[in-house]
Amino acid sequence: EKLFSGFSKTRNNLSVIDELLLYWNLSDTDKVLDELEEALLVSDFGPKITIKIVENLREDILSGKLKSGSEIKEALKKNVLDLLSNKGSKTELQLGYRKPAVIMIVGVNGGGKTTSLGKLAYRLKNGGAKILLAAGDTFRAAASDQLEIWAERTGCEIVVAESEKSKASAVLSQAVKRRKRARLYISIGVHVIFSGLHTNYRLMEELISCKKAVAKVVAGAPNEILLVLDGTTGLNMLPQAREFNEVVGVTGLILTKLDGSARGGCVVSVVDELGIPVKFVGVGEGVEDLQPFDAEAFVNAIFL
Ligand code: GDP
């Protein structure tokens, strides 16, 4: 429901083709596809993916495979669903068998990392995991305090920086070591923040150090590096995702704020271009407002 209402604007943009499809006949094809192209672009699908979808449909219409407006609409939805499903890539967390399992949460300022980390911890804890949160955001003064509130709210342990000068990688390393000694079945949420992505190389280096610090303690960790993307930023999320992926190798996406005025199309572009699956979506600020990504629900939320 929240996803559906969050995408009302995208749905509205895309609904302009519905009437055209209702009365569609072959001679209308160019007009309908032009309108569709426009609607997809306005909905932040981005030029590359828009052309791909429109040309796929054109081919199927001209070859006689699609014979009615409703068949075209269904094919459109299926196209988007296939692109989102990304050749069957795994949308579930891959935590492996080694303990502790480590999840790094990365992304730019204000995207929703802390909130997503809290919600994810709550979710995993309910599934029986023992969670240790590590406040790796040593750059933003209030970040640790904010995460401590989440630790309290979710009843999870937390490791914070020993001093203001501590590096993120030191906090992460300390957290993983603590868990390793305890030999418990755990997932550790590691919270790393990066602001000013394009200009701050020091932070990029720190991100790499974080990854190395964790791997040094537990071979094969981090199991997941989840990039948090703000669903309201539209196509701006694409260069961001590209850059984070180049630097650390992202294994999954968390799309946040999909309950607000989310701009849906760009999600398809990110998944298609980077080949990284969306693993969770954020649909609010409460502990239970993180859902596993469901491509079908997503498609049904953006198309009428
Ligand atoms: P960070 O700087 O990346 O750690 O971002 P925060 O977790 O502090 O989130 C920034 C703001 O976005 C906060 O006010 C959050 O409550 C809000 N926020 C995060 N995720 C969601 C979401 O899924 N839906 C809504 N409506 N707000 C969210």
Report how far apart, in Å, the C-alpha atoms of 285 and of each of 110, 157, 221, 301 are: 13, 21, 29, 20
Binding site membership of 13 for ligand 1 (Cβ less than 6 Å) = no
Q: pLDDT by residue (tens digit) across 9-24?
A: 999 999 988 988 988 8
Binding site membership of 284 for ligand 1 (Cβ less than 6 Å) = yes
- In angstroms, the CA 95 to CA 173 distance is 18
Binding site membership of 234 for ligand 1 (Cβ less than 6 Å) = no
CA 285 / ligand 1 centre spacing (Å): 7
Binding site membership of 256 for ligand 1 (Cβ less than 6 Å) = yes
Q: pLDDT by residue (tens digit) across 235-271?
A: 889 988 998 899 889 999 999 999 988 887 899 999 9
Other CB atoms within a 10 A radius of the CB of residue 38 amount to: 14
pLDDT band at 30 (very low <50, low <70, confident <90, very high): very high
Predicted ipTM of the assembly: 0.99
Binding site membership of 259 for ligand 1 (Cβ less than 6 Å) = yes
> Which pair of structure tokens corresponds to residue 117?
């980390």
- In angstroms, the CA 9 to CA 233 distance is 14
Looking at residue 201, what is its pLDDT? Answer: 65
Burial of 132: CB neighbours in 10 Å, binned 0-12, 13-18, 19+: buried
CA 61 / ligand 1 centre spacing (Å): 43
Query: Collapsing DSSP states into helix, strand and coil, what is residue 104?
Result: strand
Q: pLDDT by residue (tens digit) across 80-112?
A: 999 998 765 678 888 877 778 889 998 888 889
Q: Which of 7, 106, 115 to mutate to test the pocket of ligand 1 (most atoms within 8 A of CB)?
A: 115
pTM: 0.92
Binding site membership of 115 for ligand 1 (Cβ less than 6 Å) = yes
Q: pLDDT by residue (tens digit) across 37-59?
A: 999 999 999 999 999 999 999 99
Q: How many residues make up the chain in this entry?
A: 304
Q: Which amino acid is at 167?
A: K
Give one DSSP letter per residue of 179-202, joined into a string.
HHHHT--EEEEEE--B-STTT-HH
Q: pLDDT by residue (tens digit) across 193-239?
A: 444 444 466 777 888 888 999 899 888 889 999 999 999 998 889 98
Measured from the Cα of 146, ligand 1's closest atom is 8
Q: pLDDT by residue (tens digit) across 106-160?
A: 888 888 988 999 999 999 889 888 888 888 877 777 888 888 999 999 999 898 8
